[in-house]
Structure 1
Amino acid sequence: MSRSQPPSPALLPGVDRAAFAVALAVRLRRHGVPVGLTGIEDFVRAMAVSPPVSRAELYWAARISLVRQRCDIEVFDAVFSAVFDSGGLALDPHARRTPQVNPHGGDDDAFASVSTSSTDEQPGGGLPWVTLPQVVAEAGESESELAVPERLPSELDGLADVSFEELDAGEMDLLSRWLAAAVVDWPTRRSRRHRVDTRGHRIAARCTLERSRRTGWEPIELIRVRAIDKPRPVVMLCDVSQSMQAQAPAYFHLMRALALVARAEVFAFATTLTRLTSVLTHKSAEVAIEQATDKVTDRFGGTRIASNVQALLSSHHGGRTRGAIVIVGSDGWDSDPPEDLAAAMARLRRRAHRVIWMNPRAGAPGFEPQVAAMAAALPYCDKLLPADTFRSLQRVITEISHAR
């Protein structure tokens, strides 16, 4: 019984196939061979499906994938030879249909060298086929261009953890777009409307009887329906008093994201309540924030949280709080009596589906709600979340999306 032969070792073990294919394509482009992205992708897939075990297999995989015109074959052969002759990978002389002729004389199976640019003669100008690129730890001491770059955090990701006081208007606008992109998965609630669905648990008697007319009033097929889900409403109140001066612009960006994506009702309050839904839905973030700032006439003054919560519940907009997710952004400093705020929050809690309080002071180590108003409102809140950076505002959006 014959024993099966062990598989031949791969030609280029431990090589980043994508980096190898791109480096070879760049070398070919320098010598006039038009190599496209499709060819590079085909070459990478070819090496992944059938890893080359000889130089001949590598040659044909690269030639079939990267060369599209017959006139480019001679240039490809010369580049391939110039690259791999120095690596010691022998090529079967019978692997090519037409042997290469050395213009400088000598062995017919030798390969002609290619005149390369000055960049190829520099250290690290070859292909990453012998060893992997150098690691990041040694990249600072090496002159190789093939070193793996250090993955530093992006500018956007770094700004997400910066406090609001240190951000300018441009950075605020950049982060607001990042915040709006985070509002993708929104909670829903069951509505009173129904639609036909074979997986429904309820039988639509009227539709079933209507269809049974075709069969002499025999209900051959039962029509099932289920309730239609609709987005859960969202209402946000933002404190714009003197103690919230640094956080108010960032909270406006959060309210704009909620108003645009989730069609939320948003309000600002200090001593009076101001509805900002119409102005914050402007297509320009800069214009929307400017109009919202101008519309709030009592900003950076005193705070009356209890009075404004009662005003919202008593207005015709208070109906939007029924079954809604209500977000209150404030540090809890209130000039109204704590018992008034407790009564207003209790009334709000009976209407709303969930109540989330954002406090910019809650992110400080060892924070405790010792302010009288904050302590009075906390029992009626489902969550108390820090909101001192844009990353913490994204956590607020995540918490809302999980409110099923």
Structure 2
Amino acid sequence: MSPSVLRGVDRAAFAVAFAGRLRRAGVPAGLTDVDDFVRALAASPPHSMSSLYWTARICLVRQHTDLAAFDRVFAAIFADPPPLPRPSRSASPPDAHDDVYARVPADTDDSDSGGLPWATLPPAVAETPAHDTALRLPERRPSALTGLADRPFDELDSAQVAQLGDALRAAVAGWPTRRTRRFATGAAGARVALRPTIARARRTGWEPVDVVRERPVRRPRRVVLLCDVSESMRAQATAYLHLMRAFAVVADGEVFAFATTLTRLTVVLRHRSAAEAVARASAAVTDRYGGTRIATNLRSLLTSHHADAVRGAVVVIGSDGWDSDPPHELAAVMARLSRRAYRIIWLNPRAGAPGFTPRVGGMAAALPYCDRMLPAGTFQDLLVVARQLQSVTCTDGRKWPTLTPAPRIIA
């Protein structure tokens, strides 16, 4: 093993001095970063200039914009870096102590380098001259899912929306359960089942030798989703359909779409193919991208044979609040819905905008009867919504989170 490049050097003093030089150059290297750097030098002493470079860079650089300043400081301190070997494609696998750059060819892409998620910036267009000793800086790129999570819905194509729809389905995989009034026999039950115990006691002279126990039956907390597919929700409609499909498939939820009329989409959204399910749902909604009548559609739900699905359920309404019905009618039907539902969550795609105030007539009338209003303008917001709904519906002995009622706002 080659000797360390910092042999005989006080690692703490070196790290503090190096971080101070970086701070003067504009790189915010704090005390936590310096501590990480000292621990990294102690755990794995650098045996080459490149390993020292990557140890310092991983510990002290947090933002991509600080890389240029870091490189200038590193080059000023170590002005004569050693040449970096570049193996050929047919070369044998490197030894465990070889230079890190030897494992990342500068002129290959991700598919040619054994599937490693690296890319060289700037991309090489020709063979590097043998006398070139410049540092090759491979950059780790974010995954496709992370890059799409914060983009608005109207900037995504159908394939990207489907990809993020799979992430929503995975986010609600662990849907909580609730305790019902029914009981089932089980060895772990804390309650004695009288009828089965007495029935078995008939065989032992009416002595309860074999005691049968029972436990409460748990079922998934019922969830009902209503999605606004009017013209004002055109950009969010497809993404909300993927959210409803996730709950329809995983949590056995009831889902509806509404514009001027109410359409049940529970059956069509449970199709095995996400693309086919969304296509069938879009075809089933005949009034898509039309007007909006929120109060009328909620009243239709409460008077239909699906009204029992709302009782004790978490009702999720995805809409921007624009409604052609009078606000007092929406307030009346929301009051009726709040008495029947367990929780009411309103998803508003405009709520994440800076300075948002729900002063639209319909939104202001419905807000006092909502337990929460959550922003839902990006897929990252929808993932947060999925986690919030799981925390709201947890009934496995944990304390329910306190939901602060929304303030009453006069339009």
**TM-score normalised by the chain length of structure 1:** 0.65
Q: Would the aligned equivalents of 2:198 and 2:206 in 1 still touch at CA under 8 Å?
A: yes
Per the alignment, residue 275 of structure 2 pairs with: 286
Partner of 1:370: 359
The one-letter code sitting in structure 2 at the alignment partner of 1:220 is V
- Asked whether the 8 Å contact 1:355–1:382 carries over to 2, the reply is yes
Q: Deviations over 1:283-330 (max 9, x none)?
A: 222222222222212121211111110110100011101111111000
After superposition, the Cα gap between the structure-2 partners of 1:211 and 1:228, relative to the gap in structure 1 and judged at 3 Å, is same
In structure 2, C-alpha distance between the alignment counterparts of 1:314 and 1:168, rounded to whole Å: 38
Code of the residue aligned with 2:219 in structure 1: it is: K
Give the corresponding residue for 2:80. Answer: none
Structure 1 residues 230 and 131: CA distance shift in structure 2, 3 A: same
CA distance in structure 1 between the partners assigned to 2:156 and 2:167 by the alignment: 15
The yes-or-no answer on 1:335 pairing with 2:314 is: no
Structure 2 residue identity aligned to 1:156: L
Letter in 2 for 1:339: H
2:94 corresponds to 1:119 = no
Letter aligned with residue 233 of structure 2: M
Q: Does 1:306 align with 2:295?
A: yes
Pairing of 1:3-402 with structure 2 (within 5 A): 119=88, 126-129=94-97, 149-402=138-391
Residue 355 of structure 1 aligns to a residue in which SS? Answer: strand
Task: Decide whether the 8 Å contact of 2:248 with 2:270 is kept in 1.
Answer: yes
Letter in 2 for 1:365: P
Name the SS of the counterpart of 1:191 in structure 2.
Answer: strand
Amino acid at match of 1:151: R
Contact conserved, 2:352 with 2:375, CA < 8 A, in 1? Answer: yes
Q: Which secondary structure state, in structure 1, belongs to the residue aligned with residue 184 of structure 2?
A: strand
Deviations 1:251-300 (A, max 9, x none): 11111121111221111111111111122222222222222222212121
Q: Which has the larger radius of gyration?
A: 1
Aligned partner of 2:366: which letter?
A: A
Question: Deviation digits for residues 182-214 of structure 1, max 9, x if unmatched?
Answer: 221112112233222344332111111122223
Number of matched residues? 289
Shift of the alpha carbon at 1:250? 0.9
Distance in 2 between the 1:121 and 1:245 partners?
54
How far the C-alpha of 1:163 sits from its partner, in A, is: 0.5
Conservation of the 8 A alpha-carbon contact between 1:268 and 1:275: yes
Judged with a 3 Å threshold, the aligned counterparts in structure 2 of structure 1 residues 13 and 390 are, in CA distance, closer, same or farther, namely farther
Query: What root-mean-square deviation, in Å, do the aligned CA atoms of Structure 1 and Structure 2 show?
Result: 3.1
Which residue type is aligned with residue 373 of structure 2? L
With over 3 angstroms needed to count, the CA separation of the structure-2 counterparts of 1:220 and 1:396, relative to structure 1, is same
Task: Give the match for residue 97 of structure 1.
Answer: none
SS at match of 1:194: strand
**d(CA) in 1 for partners of 2:87 and 2:294?**
71
CA shift in 2, pair 1:252/1:130, >3 Å: closer
Q: Are residues 148 and 319 of structure 1, via their aligned partners in 2, closer, same or farther at CA, if it must alter by over 3 Å? A: farther
Match of 2:397 in 1: none
Q: Deviations over 1:155-202 (max 9, x none)?
A: 121111110000111111111122212221112112233222344332
Separation of aligned partners in 1, 2:140 and 2:335? 49
Cα distance change, pair 148–181 in 1 and its aligned pair in 2 (3 A) = farther
1:151 Cα deviation after fit: 2.8
Question: Which deviates more from structure 2 when the two are superposed, residues 173-182 or residues 194-203?
Answer: 194-203
Distance 1:396-1:335 versus aligned 2 partners, 3 A rule: same
Which residue identity is paired with 1:289? V
Distance of 1:118 and 1:140 partners within structure 2? 19
CA contact (8 A) 1:135 1:147 kept: no
Q: For 1:262, give the aligned amino acid.
A: A
Secondary structure of 1:363's match? coil
Cα shift at 1:222: 2.8
Per mean C-alpha deviation after superposition, the further-off stretch among 230-239 and 190-199 is 190-199
Separation in structure 1 between the aligned mates of residue 93 and residue 187 of structure 2, nearest angstrom: 64
* Counterparts of 2:90 and 2:269, CA distance in 1: 58
CA shift in 2, pair 1:381/1:118, >3 Å: closer
Ranges in structure 1 where 5+ consecutive residues have no aligned partner = 1-10, 15-116
Q: Percent identity?
A: 55
* Cα pair 1:120 1:126 within 8 Å, conserved: no
Return the letter of the residue paired with 1:127.
Answer: D
When residues 354 and 120 of structure 1 are mapped into structure 2, their CA distance, relative to the original with a 3 A threshold, is: closer
Q: Please give the alpha-carbon distance, in whole angstroms, between the structure 1 residues aligned to 2:280 and 2:100.
A: 56
Deviations 1:203-248 (A, max 9, x none): 1111111222232111234322111101111111111111111111
